[in-house]
Amino acid sequence: MNVAKLFSGLSIPAAILLTALSCHVSAGDFTKKAVGTVGSDFLNLGAGARAMGMGGAYSAIAEDASAIQWNPAGLVQISKLSATFMRAAYVADINYQYAAYAHRLDYATVIAGSVITTDIGGIKHTDTSGNVLGTFYPKDQAYTLSYGRAIMELSDKDRDVSMGVSAKYIKSTILNSAVGMGVDFGIMTYYFTNIPYRLSVVMQNLGQGLKFDSQRESLPLTFRLGGSISPFKNFLLAAETVLPKGNAMHFVSGAELSTGQTDKARVNLRGGIDTQYLRDDVGGFFMGAGIGLHFFTIDYAFVPMGELGSTHRISLTFDFPYRSPVFQRKDRSIFNQFKDFISPAKK
């Protein structure tokens, strides 16, 4: 491992993180005492059963369309196009759905869009005397547009760097509706060493929160610093530090083992841990599995949450052409593997 390259690759992500931390936040915003001080918590719901099966330790992997949710810098790993559809059975009969699509424009650029919606069913609307006035249906929605780009100026034959940015429109409806806007920013570095690995830094949900009455709530601003490593073929380890506004810092980690890794069929087994769940005594252990059949992958994640019950995610991902893991491609690069798109500097 080249230590000089490691620190040079992290210098820009660190600068971005420090700049973001200088925004209008205080250290007290990132402690247990701040629980309940932010809104739009549905933005923290995980997208993609693969990521959730690994405990949410996905910001330094993020290699399909769900990268929009975890780290838009990871979008550049997509070969040509990718789409993800997920339905989740959450606690207390709450369901949510997620859909994302990403498309490569050239050898260095990918654009993408996603939508997440929640559904908690109908609630009786009563007045102060208990008279039933009808039924209302609370809903949360977020629409996101993302842009991912490889940074050629910082890339060479042993290391690639990418960045990504997302803009999101947030809408929440109870009896009345409120809207907000937010942005995400991420950077990922890829090291093509004997034991390849990725590093990432992400800022999520910076922006203007919802305003239902006279007071505008804060968005769940979150910082993630993560890493993933492939110690040998078909095995992946990931871990990251999560610093959320409105709660204390915690750690997530996960692993994935793949068998039958061919362009025809593959089976994936996953597990993960979230120390925030453990600390709050609502589970903390994640499990998942997936089956890939050429262009399609079906993934499932099981997340027990103690007395709150168990939650389930099922997602379908379509990648065209077949998504080959970036560290197993013939071209040692995150740039698209097709000759029509390969940068002259990377040939």
Q: What would the mean pLDDT of 328-345 be, rounded to a whole number?
A: 58
pLDDT of residue 279: 87
**Whether the Cβ atoms of residue 37 and residue 218 lie closer than 8 Å to each other:** yes
The larger pLDDT score, comparing residue 37 to residue 22, is at 37
Report helix, strand or coil for 62.
Answer: coil
Average pLDDT over residues 146-165: 88
Q: How confident is the model at residue 275 (pLDDT cuts 50, 70, 90)?
A: very high
Cβ contact 192:327 at 8 Å: yes
CB 311 within 8 A of CB 90: yes
> CA-CA distance, 312 to 87, in Å (whole number)?
9
Tell me the mean pLDDT in the region 96-105.
Answer: 95
Domain that holds residue 20: 3-346
In three state form, how does the secondary structure of the chain look?
Answer: CCHHHHHHHHHHHHHHHHHHHCCCCCHHHHCHHHCCCECCHHHHCCCCHHHHHCCCCCCCCCCCCCHHHHCHHHHHHCCCEEEEEEEEECHHHCEEEEEEEEEEEECCEEEEEEEEEEECCCEEEECCCCCEEEEECCEEEEEEEEEEEECHHHCCCCEEEEEEEEEEEEEEECCCEEEEEEEEEEEEEEECCCCCEEEEEEEEEEEECCECCCCECECCCEEEEEEEEEEECCEEEEEEEEEECCCCCEEEEEEEEEECCCCCEEEEEEEEEEHHHHHCCCCCEEEEEEEEECCEEEEEEEEECHHHCEEEEEEEEEEECCCCCHHHCCCCCCCCCCCCCCCHHHC
Region 212-216 average pLDDT: 74
The pTM for the full model equals 0.84
Say what the pLDDT of residue 2 is: 47
If one counts the domains in the chain, the total is 1
Q: Model confidence over 234-267: pLDDT tens digits? A: 899 999 999 998 778 999 999 999 986 566 788 9
pLDDT of residue 347: 45
CATH of the domain at 143: 2.40.160.40
